[in-house]
Amino acid sequence: MNLTTNTFENTEFMIEEIKKKLRMASGAALKATQLNDEQYEELRDIYEMVAGKNQFSISEIEAITTELGRLRRG
Summarize pLDDT for 5-57 with one digit per residue, the tens.
999 999 999 998 998 888 875 555 677 888 877 889 999 999 999 999 999 99
pLDDT of residue 39: 87
Q: Which domain holds residue 49?
A: 8-72
Structural Rg of the chain based on CA atoms: 11
- Flag whether the pTM goes above 0.75: yes
The letter for the amino acid at 49 is M
**Is pLDDT larger for residue 46 or for residue 68?**
46
**Residue 44 domain-assigned (yes or no):** yes
Q: From CA 26, how far away is CA 5, in angstroms rounded?
A: 27
61 inside domain: yes
Q: Is residue 1 part of a domain?
A: no
Instruction: Please report whether residue 3 resides in a domain.
Output: no
Q: What is the tally of helices (H) and strands (E) in the chain?
A: 3, 0
Answer yes or no: is 2 within a domain.
no
Q: How much is the pLDDT for 50?
A: 94
Count: domains in the chain = 1
